[in-house]
């Protein structure tokens, strides 16, 4: 944070504009969208994820669709790996499912994404149309949602806007927005953000049991 991008210059695309009027469509590219289908194996989806520029693979019903019905990201991969190595703690209703997935994986069987859907705890899929502005995106991402699917106004995905991409935009383009740029030199303690009321509980280590003679 103490080392802003060198040689910053105003960007003609944003000079003289209010950042709140910038649309989400201006920050994304369809080239960053990666796809898989429900029948795609976890291994294949993982390879696609590693190459993805948006750190997520969108899952669609078939190879010709551009409508996302689900997602696959590193959190889903971690959940799957915990099941495979036996470290996951399923609810009673899911024990047989977890055991089945673990055995199939250990037997080197290709497991499709649809079969691991129940073990993944996913964020809600949130969509914004390309013409909607960054104010709406900030509200969504600030609520704890990690990413937004940007659509063409229907359900066709044309890009993915996540928290990191939004931060990169403000970091690199802040010089175009005086209201943003003047915040960078301000100390964190002087910014009216975050909770000012901290609740803390002191931890006391349990006393060892008394020894009997």
User: pLDDT tens digits for 22-31?
Assistant: 999 999 999 9
| Cα–Cα separations (whole angstroms), residue 174 to 25, 44, 165, 168 | 18, 38, 13, 9
- What's the token pair of residue 46? 């993982």
Q: Which is it for strands 35-36 and 57-60: parallel, antiparallel or unpaired? A: parallel
Are the C-beta atoms of 60 and 67 separated by less than 8 Å? Answer: yes
Q: What pLDDT score was predicted for residue 17?
A: 92
Residue spans of the domains in the chain: they are: 19-188
- What's the token pair of residue 154? 């229907």
Distance between CA atoms of residues 6 and 96, nearest Å: 55
Pick the CATH number of 19-188 from 3.40.50.300, 3.10.580.10, 3.40.50.620, 3.40.640.10: 3.10.580.10
Q: Tell me the pLDDT of the chain averaged across its residues.
A: 88
Distance between CA atoms of residues 44 and 91, nearest Å: 28
Are the C-beta atoms of 113 and 42 separated by less than 8 Å? Answer: yes
Q: What pLDDT score was predicted for residue 9?
A: 80
Buried-state track 49-76, b at ≥16 Cβ within 10 A, e below 16? beebebbbbbbbeeeebbebebbbbeeb
Tens-digit pLDDT profile for residues 168-189: 999 889 889 988 888 888 887 7
Tens-digit pLDDT profile for residues 98-129: 999 999 999 999 999 999 999 998 888 899 99
Q: What pLDDT score was predicted for residue 81?
A: 96
Most confident range, picked from 5-14, 56-65, 84-93: 56-65
Distance between CA atoms of residues 33 and 160, nearest Å: 7
Other Cβ atoms within 10 Å of 102 Cβ, number: 17
Q: What pLDDT score was predicted for residue 122?
A: 81
Residue 130 has pLDDT above 60, yes or no: yes
Give the DSSP letter of residue 52.
Answer: -
- What's the token pair of residue 10? 């105003």
Are the C-beta atoms of 55 and 162 separated by less than 8 Å? Answer: yes
Q: What pLDDT score was predicted for residue 198?
A: 67
């Amino acid at each position: 944070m103490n080392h802003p991008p060198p040689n910053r210059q105003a960007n003609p695309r944003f000079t003289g504009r209010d950042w709140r009027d910038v649309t989400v469509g201006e920050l994304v590219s369809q080239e960053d969208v990666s796809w898989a289908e429900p029948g795609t194996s976890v291994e294949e989806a993982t390879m696609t994820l590693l190459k993805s520029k948006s750190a997520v693979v969108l899952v669609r019903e078939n190879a010709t669709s551009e409508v996302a019905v689900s997602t696959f990201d590193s959190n889903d991969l971690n959940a799957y790996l915990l099941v495979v190595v036996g470290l996951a703690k399923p609810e009673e209703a899911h024990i047989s499912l977890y055991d089945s997935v673990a055995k199939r994986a250990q037997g080197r069987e290709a497991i499709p994404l649809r079969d691991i859907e129940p073990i993944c705890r996913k964020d809600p899929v949130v969509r914004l149309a390309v013409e909607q502005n960054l104010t709406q995106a900030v509200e969504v991402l600030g609520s704890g949602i990690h990413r937004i699917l940007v659509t063409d106004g229907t359900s066709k995905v044309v890009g993915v806007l996540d928290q990191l991409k939004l931060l990169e935009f403000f970091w690199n383009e802040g010089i175009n927005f005086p209201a943003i740029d003047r915040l960078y030199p301000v100390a964190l303690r002087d910014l009216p953000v975050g909770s000012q009321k901290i609740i803390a509980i002191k931890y006391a280590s349990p006393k060892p049991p008394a020894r009997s003679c």
